[in-house]
Structure 1
């Protein structure tokens, strides 16, 4: 009897304890996919022909196609031959982190050309009538950075806001920046200021890979924090803040500025899904989706495509 009473009292005491703040949050697994899933830094878009295309880092911007977002096939590369100017920024002409949009009757593909550890970098731009691999015409650099700059021209993301065209980019060190584009050429407006959107107070200020989307009266900035590209040792995670203006200031749900290390944690590694990041946001058939890569801990850390539906709760994004 005493043992039974002691057990009841212990169970009651545990039930009355407050939930611990250190409990690991639950993150949803990505949508189950089949076919060719290997991607890094994906950008996804539904084309006019009804198919989905995903471009990503690797090859000469590797391409994947799908009819339903679930089964993906290898579709070659965006470019058959690297443009000659890429060699000025990368000895192997290796582009990174594409961004695909559609406007003015054409598809626009932005991408970064750089070398690891330097901000001698460029964001290039190409156009296509169909958005399909092998149909792209390159137009050269849209924006560049040099070693004397305090930003890095990588990881582009283009958004239209208030009748103007904007390029968010960067950067690992010093974080996320933004400048205005000429909508006719798709290139940076000469003399346009460079706005600072997000960073963190601790070196090496690891914030990169912006993706901005408007919802309601706010612009939401998604960004990748911490260490990329280390397979199962990657610590990438995705944080988000919002602003009434596309150029900021962006704050998280507690009011902490993203320029001071703020940002609500939206997605982090869990289970086999290590280091999610390199994200982009796209809308299709009335739904909003977050696309990203993760490193598969059950497949030697191979980078793979992650897709989760993005919903909104009390003015903030949540993943399904």
Structure 2
């Protein structure tokens, strides 16, 4: 079963799909097929890596914690936790919630899942953000759960729900899902979010609580696409003297037909303007491609998006989901090395 998440679709826009093998050695003495090698940038993953939709990752000590989207009834649970000690072999630990928080029934009637998580640690507090929505509507909310300990054997016992951070209604021109929290170079806390509608937004958080800062103005616009182009799932990191905004274009959640792909732009300031490598503003649909959708190439995994960026001493990694064409479009965890050019642009 495909997990509905990524974005909850739109009312103003409609997801519009955008549209190497190694040489085989001369066989001797008998012909035999030769598989193409795994690209060197790919991390060879083992263990429980599917279904995994909208991955969020944190390394703390010697453990990697990875959370994914979940819906009521999923065997993996709501906001399923997986752990690894080497970034390669993953163990499913179970759901972070046993049921949707009570406040969501009023905030988003009809919601049945907790989507598109984001995980971070501030001081000794873990902060797990999540999305509440229904597919195709922007009556949505971003919630926060906190913990001081993550017990991988009992993930649902860890989290204390703190309620909503930001909500959107049908009268808003944005969609309050797909959160990602981060700290800028001056120590200020921010959250970027957004799916479809008018695009990617930014709000300021209270660093002490992880909730929205009191008297924060209306969400700031960071990126958008002309209709009917789809944009969602933002992720911001600092590298060198710039902030880099990664986002997913086109359609997710359609299995082997998904055209999800990942682009990036950068800005010298956290609130933009973000531009791509050619200088086109992301508010005007700009974005330099980092991950193609894989369609039409014979690739096993297509629809590559909803990324998280893992920055660590041995280099950076891009963590995302893609759909396995050999398994009926099953959403599957993927991890690749992310490299940076001399002029400061990321690629895989």
The TM-score bracket by the shorter chain reads 0.7 to 0.9
1:75–1:256: structure 2 CA closer, same or farther, 3 Å change rule?
same
- Equivalences for 1:183-202 in 2 at 5 Å? 183-193=207-217, 194-201=219-226
Contact 1:250 1:257 (8 Å CA) reproduced: yes
Contact 2:140 2:175 in 1 (8 A): yes
Q: Residue 70 of structure 1 aligns with which residue? A: 88
Higher strand share: 1
Q: Deviations over 1:43-87 (max 9, x none)?
A: 011123x11111000231111111111111111011233211122
Q: Trace 1:47-62 onto structure 2 (pairs within 5 A).
A: 47-48=60-61, 50-58=62-70, 59-62=77-80
* Distance in 2 separating the partners of 1:291 and 1:75: 19
1:40, 1:305 within 8 Å by CA — same for their partners in 2?
A: yes
2:97 is aligned to 79
2:257 to 226, 233, 242: 233
Alpha-carbon distance change, 92 to 259 in structure 1, aligned in 2, over 3 angstroms: closer
Deviation at 1:130, TM superposition (A): 2.4
Task: Give the ranges of 4+ consecutive aligned residues of structure 1 lying more than 6 Å apart after TM superposition.
Answer: none
What stretches of structure 2 of length at least 5 have no aligned partner?
Answer: 1-38, 71-76
Alignment deviations for residues 118-177 of structure 1 (CA, whole Å, 9 cap, x no partner) = 111100011111234221111000111111111110000011112211110001121100
Q: 2:198 & 2:301 partners in 1: Cα distance? A: 27
* Residue of structure 2 equivalent to 1:121: 140
Partner of 1:206: 230
How far off is 1:289 after superposition?
A: 1.3
Aligned partners of 1:127, 1:61: CA distance in 2, in Å?
13
RMSD: 1.5
In terms of Rg, which structure is larger?
Answer: 1
Note closer, same or farther for the CA distance 1:95–1:120 as it changes in structure 2 (3 Å cut): same
Match of 1:155 among 151, 171, 178: 178
1:275 aligns with 2:320: no
What TM-score, normalized to structure 1? 0.87
Equivalent residue for 2:118, pick from 71, 88, 99: 99
1:297 aligns with 2:325: yes
Check whether the contact 1:172–1:204 (CA below 8 A) recurs between aligned residues: no
Structure-1 separation of matches of 2:42 and 2:302: 12
Distance (whole Å) between structure 2 residues aligned to residue 207 and residue 125 of structure 1? 23
Greater relative contact order (Cα < 8 A, sep 6+): 2
